[in-house]
């Protein structure tokens, strides 16, 4: 009996003692191991453990309805191959099974958490959009304006400065409201300023005063 054959036989005995009823020996080369998350079949090669064994996932457990088995299988197959290559030359089945079981558990937890977060974000977005629409409709109701009119009114509304510069009659009309204690501005004090400069926005209003005098 070769050393490789002896290692395979010894490993089968150890696996059977560890997994008990969750271990099923088919023959000297083929066997099944079942965990809480999957059932996996291994097939030794003649050169195992100096050559990685063949394997296949027979069944998955604890998957939710929206979790695709094929995607889980692809994820695990890549992981198992990495573990096998890292343990080449030694008995590896126990390490493969335990590491894969833990990896699948973590993988499912992460994907489920991400799915929950995505759903919460979606609900939050819908709630914000609904709240914004409700506030907009309430504003329209209070103003008794159709939507197009309200948007047009918002878009065309001038600021106080724009109204002041557009209608110079506001300058003269404001003087009629001056009281006895109001201070009258002496425009001669501003003769030294360059009121005609386009770059000096602060002098634009004063320029309007002087043009109307």
pLDDT digits (tens, 9 = 90+) for 21-31: 999 999 999 99
List b or e across 104-134, with b for residues whose CB sees 16 or more CB atoms inside 10 angstroms. Answer: beebbeebeeeeeeeeeeeeeeeeeeeeeee
pLDDT in tens, 71-92: 899 999 999 999 999 999 999 9
pLDDT-based confidence at residue 104 (cuts at 50, 70, 90): very high
pLDDT-based confidence at residue 124 (cuts at 50, 70, 90): confident
Domain ranges in the chain are 3-107, 160-212
Question: With contact defined as beta carbons under 8 Å apart, do 60 and 36 qualify?
Answer: no
3-state SS class at 83: helix
Nearest CA among 2, 10, 1 for reference residue 91 = 10
3-state SS class at 30: strand
What mean pLDDT, rounded, does the chain reach? 78
User: What architecture (CATH level 2) is domain 3-107?
Assistant: Roll (3.10)
The label of the residue with tokens 């050393």 reads: 3
DSSP tag of 2? -
Question: With contact defined as beta carbons under 8 Å apart, do 44 and 8 qualify?
Answer: yes
pLDDT recorded at residue 118: 77
Question: With contact defined as beta carbons under 8 Å apart, do 80 and 96 qualify?
Answer: yes
The label of the residue with tokens 């005063």 reads: 209
0.75 cut: is pTM over it?
no
Of 131 and 189, the one with more pLDDT: 131
């Amino acid at each position: 009996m070769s050393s490789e054959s002896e290692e395979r036989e010894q490993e089968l005995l150890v696996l059977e003692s560890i997994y008990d009823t969750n271990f099923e020996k088919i023959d000297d080369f083929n066997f099944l191991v079942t965990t809480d998350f999957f059932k996996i079949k291994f097939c030794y090669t003649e050169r195992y453990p100096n050559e990685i064994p063949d394997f296949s996932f027979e069944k998955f457990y604890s998957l939710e309805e929206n979790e695709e088995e094929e995607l889980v299988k692809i994820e695990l197959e890549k992981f198992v191959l990495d573990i096998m290559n890292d343990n080449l030359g030694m008995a590896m089945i126990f390490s493969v099974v335990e590491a894969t079981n833990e990896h699948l558990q973590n993988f499912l937890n992460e994907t489920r958490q991400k799915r929950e977060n995505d759903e919460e974000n979606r609900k939050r977005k819908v709630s914000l959009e609904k709240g914004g629409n409700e506030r907009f409709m309430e504003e329209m109701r209070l103003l008794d304006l159709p939507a197009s009119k309200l948007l047009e009114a918002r878009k065309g509304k001038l600021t106080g400065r724009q109204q002041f510069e557009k209608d110079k009659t506001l300058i003269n009309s404001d003087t009629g409201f001056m009281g006895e204690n109001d201070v009258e501005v002496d425009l001669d004090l501003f003769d030294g300023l360059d009121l005609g400069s386009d770059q000096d926005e602060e002098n634009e209003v004063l320029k309007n005063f002087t043009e109307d005098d």
